């Protein structure tokens, strides 16, 4: 870091804890924001979260006037250039009578997910909670008339899951002054500051004041947001809920942690706090024609892969307009939960792999003080690891503690494995080190 920047960072850190200044990539002068260190603790431990994309787009579910609209389900208004007046009519049909907050949260719990992030407002601009800022919300505009966010926040508290909101702060296809809708509104006539003051800020304030403590605020598509607007969003969160995290997509690197691209798992370890939002099929919002479900083997691999690289896995479900989480998602999440029940020690609170580049190997390693957890996705008779500087004192299977013979040389460690895999999907070998 250059001297001038170091001074700036130090000044910021000493002033207040409003912004995260721990972004020293060169590494000589790392300014640690202690408030951030405190609030991010749970996130580092959690590793696995449930993302929920739920909104009016679940009604057309990818089909508009009999035609399949390509792309993501929640982007249908944009892709089909649906006029605001027409899209808004969907609200009159939105009546998810099968919605049960407790069931959704219980699913997250059984899946081993530790936090839940739900779309309070996606790019379409429709508020899925009781907003006083506008009538374009689930309580005022639909026959349903309930506030599912309230119900979910309570269910999360009951089951010990951190409750979090997604809020599209820059794109809003309903508001004439926001970014995104150029088919109803002339972009040259837009005044973003007006949208920001009359809708975005007051709605963010509502979310931070009406639903109890939030784990994090998840912003998306910062596009060309100004530094001042992004900072205002962060300060709004800090002033109302100092313990609430802000994700990296708020803009201008002002978030508490880095958000990777959608479904983009990095190739190797990343030495920052980070998360990857990901889908089980291809869409986020429910789409009836999307049956491209990833196999559970892939989802478990992704989880271990991400944790070994230092990140969190925020895995999405897209409930239907009736309020049902698609069965293929439920099955996969429950299978992940069964795996985590046995192997969770290798995941929750675990550290990065010391064996790099991570993608060079077919297995994945996670760590805890005095322990290496090596997860194998294909069973073999011997596991060969690169040189380990510490003395290995014991090797065993995580599932039942069975001791394993091993041989350590300065060049490598070779572990003898039993003839059959303890787990059909992924088995964990533990090495105890000095
Ligand atoms: O909420 C989910 C997505 O809707 C959102 N992020 C995740 C978490 C997201 N917003 N933007 N994008 C993802 C990228 C979208 C790209 C595309 Fe398009 C939308 C490709 C085609 C339609 C934008 C518009 C780029 C080209 C046309």
Distance 262 CA to ligand 1 centre (A): 9
Per-residue model confidence (pLDDT) at position 98: 98
- Give the CA angle between residues 346, 160, 423 to the nearest 5°: 30
Helix locations, 241-359, DSSP H: 296-308, 327-343
- Return the residue whose CA atom lies nearest to atom 9 of ligand 1: 221
Distance 361 CA to ligand 1 centre (A): 32
Per-residue model confidence (pLDDT) at position 29: 52
**Burial of 68 (C-beta count, 10 Å sphere; 0-12/13-18/19+):** exposed
Please tell me if the CB atom of residue 75 comes closer than 6 angstroms to any atom of ligand 1: yes
Per-residue model confidence (pLDDT) at position 30: 59
Please tell me if the CB atom of residue 124 comes closer than 6 angstroms to any atom of ligand 1: no
Among 50, 62, 117, 221, the mutation site with the greatest number of ligand 1 atoms within 8 A of its Cβ is 221
Q: In the numeric block, which tokens belong to residue 320?
A: 């239907």
Please tell me if the CB atom of residue 282 comes closer than 6 angstroms to any atom of ligand 1: no
Per-residue model confidence (pLDDT) at position 16: 42
Distance 298 CA to ligand 1 centre (A): 23
Per-residue model confidence (pLDDT) at position 199: 99
Nearest-atom index, ligand 1, CA of 277: 8
Gap between the Cα atoms of 178 and 165, Å rounded: 20
How many CA atoms are closer than 13 Å to the CA of 382, on its beta-carbon side?
10
Distance 73 CA to ligand 1 centre (A): 10
Per-residue model confidence (pLDDT) at position 50: 99
Distance 329 CA to ligand 1 centre (A): 21
Distance 31 CA to ligand 1 centre (A): 34
Please tell me if the CB atom of residue 262 comes closer than 6 angstroms to any atom of ligand 1: yes
Distance 258 CA to ligand 1 centre (A): 18
Distance 71 CA to ligand 1 centre (A): 9
Beta bridge partners, 127, equal 121, 137
Domain residue ranges in the chain: 20-346, 369-433
Please tell me if the CB atom of residue 72 comes closer than 6 angstroms to any atom of ligand 1: yes
Do the domains 369-433 and 20-346 match in fold? no
Per-residue model confidence (pLDDT) at position 19: 44
Per-residue model confidence (pLDDT) at position 31: 75
> CB under 8 Å to 264, separation ≥6 — which residues?
276
Place of tokens 């046995």: 342
Q: What is the CATH number of domain 20-346?
A: 3.20.20.80
Global model pTM greater than 0.85: yes
Per-residue model confidence (pLDDT) at position 32: 86
Per-residue model confidence (pLDDT) at position 275: 99
Q: Are 18 and 284 in contact (CB under 8 A)?
A: no
Q: What is the CATH number of domain 369-433?
A: 2.60.40.1180
- Return the residue whose CA atom lies nearest to atom 20 of ligand 1: 71
- Return the residue whose CA atom lies nearest to atom 13 of ligand 1: 262
- Tens of pLDDT, residue by residue over 250-299, are 999 999 999 999 999 999 999 999 999 999 999 999 999 999 999 999 99
Long-range contacts of 419-425 (CB under 8 A, 24+ apart): 419/381, 420/379, 421/376, 421/379, 422/397, 423/339, 423/342, 423/343, 423/399, 425/296, 425/297, 425/300, 425/339, 425/377
Nearest-atom index, ligand 1, CA of 166: 1
Gap between the Cα atoms of 376 and 397, Å rounded: 11
Distance 383 CA to ligand 1 centre (A): 42
Nearest-atom index, ligand 1, CA of 51: 8
Mean pLDDT by 10 residues, the chain (434 residues): 43 40 48 93 99 99 98 98 98 98 99 99 99 98 98 98 99 98 98 98 98 98 98 98 98 98 98 98 98 99 99 99 99 99 98 98 98 98 98 98 98 98 98 97
Please tell me if the CB atom of residue 284 comes closer than 6 angstroms to any atom of ligand 1: yes
């Amino acid at each position: 870091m250059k001297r001038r920047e170091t001074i700036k960072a130090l000044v910021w850190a000493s002033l207040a804890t409003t912004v995260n200044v721990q972004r020293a990539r060169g590494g000589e002068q790392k300014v640690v924001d202690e408030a951030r260190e405190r609030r991010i603790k749970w996130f580092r431990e959690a590793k696995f979260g449930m993302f929920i994309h739920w909104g009016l787009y679940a009604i057309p579910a990818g089909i508009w006037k009999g035609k399949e609209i390509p792309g993501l389900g929640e982007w249908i208004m944009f892709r089909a250039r649906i006029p605001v007046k027409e899209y808004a009519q969907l609200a009159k049909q939105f009546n998810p009578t099968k919605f049960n907050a407790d069931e959704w949260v219980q699913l997250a719990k059984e899946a081993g997910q530790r936090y839940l992030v739900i779309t309070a407002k996606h790019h379409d601009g429709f508020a899925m909670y009781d907003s006083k800022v506008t009538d374009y919300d689930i309580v005022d505009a639909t026959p349903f008339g309930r506030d599912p966010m309230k119900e979910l926040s309570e269910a999360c508290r009951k089951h010990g899951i951190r409750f979090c909101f997604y809020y599209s702060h820059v794109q809003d296809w309903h508001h004439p002054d926001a970014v995104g809708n150029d088919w109803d509104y002339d972009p040259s006539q837009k005044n973003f500051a007006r949208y920001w003051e009359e809708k975005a800020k007051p709605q963010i304030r509502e979310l931070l004041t009406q639903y109890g403590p939030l784990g994090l605020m998840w912003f998306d598509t910062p596009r060309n947001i100004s530094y001042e607007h992004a900072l205002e969003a962060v300060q709004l969160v800090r002033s109302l809920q100092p313990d609430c995290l802000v994700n990296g997509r708020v803009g201008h690197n002002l978030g508490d942690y880095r958000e990777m691209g959608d479904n983009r798992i990095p190739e190797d370890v990343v030495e920052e706090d980070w998360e990857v939002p990901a889908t089980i099929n291809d869409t986020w919002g429910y789409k009836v024609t999307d049956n491209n479900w990833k196999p559970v083997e892939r989802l478990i691999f992704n989880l271990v892969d991400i944790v070994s690289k230092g990140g969190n896995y925020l895995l999405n479900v897209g409930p239907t307009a009736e309020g049902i989480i698609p069965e293929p998602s439920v099955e996969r999440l429950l299978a992940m939960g069964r795996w985590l029940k046995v192997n969770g020690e290798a995941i929750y609170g675990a550290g990065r792999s010391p064996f790099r580049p991570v993608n060079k190997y077919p297995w994945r390693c996670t760590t805890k003080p005095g322990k290496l957890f090596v997860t194998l996705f294909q069973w073999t008779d011997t596991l060969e690891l690169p040189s380990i500087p510490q003395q290995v004192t014991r090797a065993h299977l995580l599932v039942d503690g069975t001791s394993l013979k091993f041989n350590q040389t300065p060049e490598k460690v070779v572990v003898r494995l039993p003839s059959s895999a303890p787990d059909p999907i992924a088995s964990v070998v533990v090495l105890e080190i000095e």
